[in-house]
Chain A
Amino acid sequence: MSYQQPKFRHPSLPVNDLGYTRADYEGAISTLCAGCGHDSISGSIVRACHELSLEPHKIAKLSGIGCSSKSPTYFLGKSHGFNSVHGRMPSVVTGAAMANRDLLYLGVSGDGDTASIGMGQFAHAIRRNLNMVYIVMNNGCYGLTKGQDSATADEGSASKKGDPNPFGAIDLPGLALQLGATFVARSFSGDKEQLVPLIKAAMSHRGFALIDVVSPCVTFNNNSASTKSYEFVREHAEATGTVDFVPMREEITTSYEPGHSQEVTMHDGSVLRLRKMAEDLDPFDRGSAMMALEASRSSGQILTGLIYMDKDSADLHEVLNTSRRPLNTLAEEDLCPGDKVLQNINQSLR
């Protein structure tokens, strides 16, 4: 069961440019297990959308099947949502995005939903550079079917059941880079300070933006032998640097020591300020990003933060040269060539 969140508004809650409080971006009360990483990610999505002053109804949230895929019910209650079938959210987003290019598409998936059953669709959405934010709530297991190892579980990692996983893990950011993703980041559900600006940046990015968020499953995979537990991730997370997101309309005031920071303007005019970036990572160079991921992995660490971004890429609509007016707003006069044309066609068939 899910319940509608009580809409109690404290008078002193901060409002954004649209006059909305954070509560306006919340959804139904979560029915996930207490302490589940997925709920924290939902909280970060709420915070990012509120702080960005996004109009909730201009966002469409879509998911597959799993505990993670249930979470869109628990944020953005004023947005249309679509809980589709297991592993197939990317295709539904592709169609939706073709129909209306003006909405912001937020896809939420799990590691089972993405790295197993949905691997093909995930890969092809990346390849087409579909304009969407794709968040994987990655707990290394199938939460909803009671904790089986997933394809992102590390080799040797053991869930509560106790058997070490014999197979190597699929690293989603690494795979996404390989497939040509134009925005790749990783974060941790327990690190909102890092995750919120990354979500904002992903939402400003034109093209496919992946955030792989390690999100512990407290019920099945948060034990000491698991590499997706809160404890393990806290100890082994290694950030590429710090990302600050400055929305388009805010003036940039602070300045930083050169060399340590870098500013990039996104295609919508917002600015990303990257601070304390790792010496050996150039997040605008795919090769460098791949090397950094690999170096971190082989030293047993989990690389988090912004890993790669190509801010000038063409998304699927640009490639197809589709009308700037959303296709779902076109009517008979735009779409139907009329009888006269048809009579000419008939004539050519005689």
Chain B
Amino acid sequence: MKSLESINEFVIKFANVNGTGSASANNLFAKALFRMGLPVSPKNIFPSNIQGLPTWYEVRVSEKGYLGRRGGVDIMLSVNPQSMPQDVREVEPGGYFIYDSTKPLDLRLHRKDINIIGIPLTRICNEEYEDPRQRQLFKNVIYVGALAALLDIDFAVLTELVADQFKGKEKLVLPNIHALELGHQYVKANLDCPLGIRVRKSDKVGDKILLDGNTALGLGAIYGGATVAAWYPITPSTSVVDAYERYAKRLRIDPGTGRQNFAIVQAEDELAAIGMVIGAGWNGARAFTATSGPGLSLMSEFLGLAYFAEIPTVLFDVQRAGPSTGMPTRTQQSDVLSAAYASHGDTKQVLLFPSTPRECFDFGALSFDLADRLQTPIILMTDLDLGMNDNMSDPLEWDDERKYDRGKVLTAEDLDNMERFGRYLDVDGDAICYRTYPGTHPEKGAFFTRGTSRDEYAIYTERGEEYEKNMLRLLAKWETIKSYVPRPEIIRSEQQTEMAVLYYGTSEEASREALDYLAADGVHLNAMRVRAFPFNDEVEQFMADHEQVFVIEQNRDAQLRTLLMAEFELGPDKLKSVLCFDGTPISARNIRKQILMHLPGYNVTPLRRERVVGQGE
């Protein structure tokens, strides 16, 4: 058997039981590599359950800077007997399977083509600790110490990290370092180390940060001036409001009075949550809600009201695997269509697709400017992968000169200087009308907001021509919107080509990596990352410029492809789907394989024939 060998390029996966405190130990591991200057991309794969079920933590380590899922596992660290059969199977030939050897490994699990490494974690732990809780917690820390020896991680970086992690709780520092040493010493004394796969200090991290998308969104809402947050708990969006609250309590308390310059209401359901956001937006405050698929479905009626009555509304949708409750703790990009056309009647909603924490922060803050400027719901589409995992990202930045764009709002003075105010009158020719906040002027500017049809002066009408005129103006506004939403990011291949890939959100990293693989295969593709809906002119041009476009997405029904076909009236032949919808983030190998399968002459046999394309591996 030939063992895998690599420095600073590998995938390691931890198989744990949820509720056993493994998360912080696993974080410690990933952060240590990050501090050694190595790009890392950790992903939690966890059940919808509080205690007792299998959970995994997969870390991609890549000095080359590939942050998406590669596919395959080089090192498996298994401390969960429940999932062991599956975990052994996943290891790449030549890879390493590290397990708790306190109990001998079931003979049926042995594989000849991988390295099996036993460390008696439970025994070391039980010999050292009496208290069952300590035994459980420190077992996790011990395996990190063991990995430090196996992979040649700088031990000083680990101890420094522990000190940082327990700042304020200094009593915990030494016991944790001791546990790290227990694992480290055992490996040094009993095993060959380091392994063929190992790490070495590098300088590929620069000023980057490790941050989850939901925290970045919460911060984006703080910086974007949101004062009202209304929400109903749902994974994977909950931590957006948690982060907003945590930072608001630090950064938004009025220094003079101690009062809050924000209001958070935990609503009775998502209908109420979006109703509150709409009420606050109508009344001139910046407001948002965060939810996931089931909540988005419930918000549908209200989203139509906000579209039709033109009320600034911000909604963060952290997508998970549907339909219905689906796989609530797994990732997908499957709310695209239901968000884009949310609500009955002819509606179209503005969508933003961030793909990094930095973009979550930027687009999060931008949402409030766009909502005020465009007077319509802004739905930011992120997902569990981006929202709940630490992602390596450019640092956050804020231009202190920046002013909020509050859009077309009339003051009492404006009203005094005008002939007659018409709430739905297109004065400027951009199809965006002027509005007033309640309470602005004693005599002028009051109007009735409603979801029923009305004329340009907001007076109720059922005259078909008036209704139609208003609906056409909303369509004209849709055109205006195209010039405000973020433009796509286009990457040209080094070689002239008629073929391209199109991706959005969290498919970015794996797609870029797949493009490199494909180039090595001799397949050259241009690439476009779509960042918003409506699609602006650049998107249209790019589609026109290519014969064949592979649309990469994480859902079953090729939802963005459908949207492109509907909006540009493109034929189905031009757009080919590259899909993954098993609830794990799409991987680079999977993308490469699916694209090659579409190309004549590149007959790749799917790894598992019984499964259709679109599965992760």
B439 CB within 8 Å of chain A: yes
A73 within 8 A of B: yes
A253 to B534, CA, bound (A): 67
Instruction: Confirm or deny: A291 has a beta carbon within 8 angstroms of a beta carbon on chain B.
Output: no
- Cβ of B79 under 8 Å from chain A: no
**Contact code string B201-233 (vs A, CB < 8 Å = 1, else 0):** 000000111110000000100110101101000
Residue of B nearest to A330 (CB): B261
Nearest-CB residue, chain B, relative to A124: B268
Interface string of B238-281 (1 = CB under 8 A from A): 00000000000001101001111111110111011111111111
Which candidate, A81-89, A212-220, A277-285, is the interface stretch facing chain B? A81-89
A94 to B210, CA, bound (A): 37
Find the residue from B263, B268, B461 having the highest chain A CB count within 10 A.
Answer: B263
Q: Determine which of A82, A120, A336 lies in contact with B223 in the assembled complex, contact meaning CB atoms within 8 Å.
A: A336
Number of interface residues of B (CB under 8 A): 76
Q: Are A73 and B448 in contact (CB under 8 A)?
A: yes
Q: Are A91 and B279 in contact (CB under 8 A)?
A: yes
Within 8 Å CB of A330, what residues of B? 225, 227, 261
A-chain residues with CB within 8 Å of residue B230 when the two chains form the complex: 91, 94-95
- Are B282 and A82 closer than 8 Å at their CB atoms? yes
**In the complex, what residues of A have CB within 8 A of residue B252's CB?**
335
Contacts of A251 in B (CB 8 A): none
B277, A95: Cβ atoms under 8 Å? yes
Assembly CA distance A78 to B415 (angstroms): 14
Whether, in the assembled complex, B116 has its beta carbon less than 8 Å from a beta carbon of chain A, the answer is: no
Which stretch of A42-50, A240-248, A261-269, A316-324 is in the interface?
A: A316-324
Give the distance in Å from the alpha carbon of A1 to the alpha carbon of B287 in the complex: 33
Q: CB of A37 within 8 A of chain B?
A: no
Report how far A73 CA is from B278 CA in the complex, Å.
20
Indicate if the CB atoms of A338 and B398 lie closer than 8 Å: yes
Q: Report if B48 contacts A (CB, 8 A).
A: no
Q: How far is the CB of B224 from chain A (nearest CB, A)?
A: 8
Q: Is A13 an interface residue (CB 8 A)?
A: no
Complex CA distance for A317 and B261, rounded to whole angstroms: 11
Produce 1/0 per residue, B397-414, CB < 8 A to A: 111101110000000000
- A83 near B448 with CB under 8 A, answer yes
A321/B438 contact (C-beta < 8 A), A80-B446, A95-B230, A335-B225 known: no
- A339: chain B residues at CB < 8 Å are 397-400
Q: Which of A149-157, A199-207, A231-239, A341-349 contacts B (4 or more CB under 8 A)?
A: A341-349
- Chain A residues near B460: list those with CB within 8 A: 1-2, 73
Interface size of A as a range: 35 or more
Write the nearest CB–CB distance from B400 to chain A, whole angstroms.
5
A300 within 8 A of B: no
CB contacts (< 8 Å) of B209 on chain A: these are 346, 349-350
**Chain A residues whose C-beta falls within 8 Å of the C-beta of B277 in the assembled complex:** 95
The answer, among A4, A57, A88, A342, for a CB contact under 8 Å with B272, is A88
Decide: B279 and A345 in contact? CB cutoff 8 A: no
CA distance A78 to B444 in the complex (A): 7
Q: Which residues A94-128 have CB closer than 8 A to chain B?
A: 94-100, 102-103, 120-121, 123-124, 128
Q: Name the B residues within 8 Å of A327 (CB-CB).
A: 227-228, 261-263, 280, 285
- Docked Cα-Cα span, A82 to B223, in Å, equals 29
Among listed B333-341, B425-433, B449-457, interface-contacting one: B449-457
In the complex, whether A34 has a CB less than 8 A from a CB of chain B is no
Tell me how far the C-beta of A97 lies from the nearest C-beta in chain B, rounded to whole angstroms.
8
**Is the CB–CB distance between B272 and A79 below 8 Å?**
no
Determine the chain A residues whose CB is within 8 A of the CB of B446 once the complex forms: 56-57, 77-81
Question: Known contacts A56-B442, A124-B268, A335-B225; is A84 also within 8 Å of B305 by CB?
Answer: yes
Mask, B416-442, CB within 8 Å of A = 1, is 000000000000000000001111111
With contacts A320-B260, A336-B225 taken as known, whether A103 is within 8 angstroms of B439 at the C-beta atoms is yes
Which residue of B269, B283, B305, B403 contacts A100 across the interface (Cβ within 8 Å)? B283
Chain B nearest CB from A301 CB (Å) reads 33
CB of A93 within 8 Å of the partner chain: yes
Distance, CA A81 to CA B442, complexed state (A): 14
Chain B residue contacts of A331, Cβ below 8 A: 225, 404
B305 touches A95 (CB 8 A): no
Does B284 touch A at the CB level, under 8 Å?
Answer: yes
Task: State whether the Cβ of A328 lies closer than 8 Å to any Cβ in chain B.
Answer: yes
Q: Taking A85-B301, A337-B251 as contacts, is the C-beta distance between A95 and B439 under 8 angstroms?
A: no
**Across the interface, do A80 and B278 meet the contact criterion of CB distance under 8 Å?**
no
A57→B442 contact, CB < 8 A: yes
Q: Is the CB–CB distance between B441 and A88 below 8 Å?
A: no
Do the beta carbons of A85 and B284 come within 8 Å of each other?
Answer: no
- Tell me the complex Cα distance, A328–B272, Å: 20
> Are B284's CB and A88's CB within 8 A?
no
**B395 beta carbon closer than 8 Å to chain A:** yes
> B439 and A345: CB pair below 8 A?
no
Report the nearest A residue to B164, measured CB to CB.
A348
Assess the A98–B439 pair: CB atoms within 8 A: no
A60 sits at the interface (CB 8 A): yes
A55 interfacial contact with B, CB 8 Å: yes
**Chain A residues closer than 8 Å to B285, beta-carbon distance:** 95, 98-100, 327-328
A331 to B400 CA separation, bound complex (whole angstroms): 13
Chain B residues, Cβ within 8 Å of A55? 442
Contact B442 A1 (CB under 8 A): no
Question: In the complex, what's the smallest C-beta–C-beta distance from B74 to chain A, in angstroms?
Answer: 26
Is B459 located at the chain interface by the 8 A CB criterion?
A: yes
> By the criterion CB–CB under 8 Å, are B276 and A102 in contact?
no
In the complex with contacts A2-B459, A98-B280, A81-B448 CB distance below 8 A: yes
Contact A84 B439 (CB under 8 A): no
Are A84 and B272 interface neighbours, CB within 8 A? no
Asked if B467 is at the interface (CB within 8 A of a chain A CB), the reply is no
Assess whether B283 is in contact with A99, with CB atoms less than 8 Å apart. yes
Q: Decide if A324 touches B259 in the complex (CB within 8 Å).
A: yes
Whether, in the assembled complex, A170 has its beta carbon less than 8 Å from a beta carbon of chain B, the answer is no
A93 to B227, CA, bound (A): 16
- A102 and B302 alpha carbons, distance in the complex (Å): 25
Distance (whole angstroms) from the CB of B284 to the closest CB of chain A: 4
A317 to B263, CA, bound (A): 8
Instruction: Give a binary string over B454-480; 1 marks a CB under 8 Å from any A CB, 0 the rest.
Output: 000001111000000000000000000
A338 contacts which chain B residues (CB < 8 A)?
Answer: 398, 400
**Interface 1/0 per residue, A56-74 and B, CB below 8 Å:** 1110101000000000110
Complexed CA–CA distance, A345 and B271 (Å): 34
Q: Taking the complex as formed, is B127 at the interface, i.e. its CB lies under 8 A from any CB of chain A?
A: no
B327 at the A interface (CB under 8 A): no
| Chain B residues numbered 29-46 whose CB sits less than 8 Å from any CB in chain A | 34-35
Does B542 sit at the interface, judged by CB under 8 A?
A: no
Q: Bound state CA distance, A323 and B258, in angstroms? A: 8
Do A342 and B398 form a contact, CB below 8 Å, given A85-B451, A99-B280, A349-B211?
yes
Interchain nearest-CB distance for B166 vs A (Å)? 14
Would you give the shortest CB distance from A185 to chain B, in whole angstroms?
Answer: 24
Is B234 close to A, CB under 8 A? no
From residue B242, how far is it (CB to closest CB) to chain A in Å?
15
Q: Select which of A2, A78, A80, A92 is within 8 A of B275 by beta carbon.
A: A92
Can you list, as one digit per residue, whether each of B289-328 has a CB less than 8 Å from chain A (1) or not (0)? 0000000000001100100000000000000000000000
* A90: chain B residues within 8 A (beta carbon): 272, 275
Q: A82-B448, A328-B283 are in contact. Are A100 and B439 (CB under 8 A)?
A: yes
Other A-B pairs beyond A1-B461, A92-B282, A346-B395, 9, CB < 8 Å: A95-B228, A124-B272, A321-B260, A323-B259, A327-B228, A327-B285, A335-B225, A339-B399, A350-B208
- Pick 15 A–B contacts, CB within 8 A, sort by A: A56-B446, A78-B443, A80-B449, A84-B275, A84-B278, A92-B279, A98-B280, A128-B265, A328-B283, A328-B284, A330-B225, A332-B225, A332-B404, A335-B225, A335-B227
The 10 A-B pairs of least Cβ separation, nearest first, read A95-B279, A91-B275, A99-B285, A95-B276, A80-B438, A95-B280, A92-B279, A328-B284, A99-B283, A349-B209
Residues of B in contact with A (beta carbons under 8 Å apart) = 34-35, 207-211, 219, 222-223, 225, 227-228, 230, 251-252, 254, 257-265, 267-269, 271-285, 287, 301-302, 305, 395-400, 402-404, 436-443, 446-452, 459-462
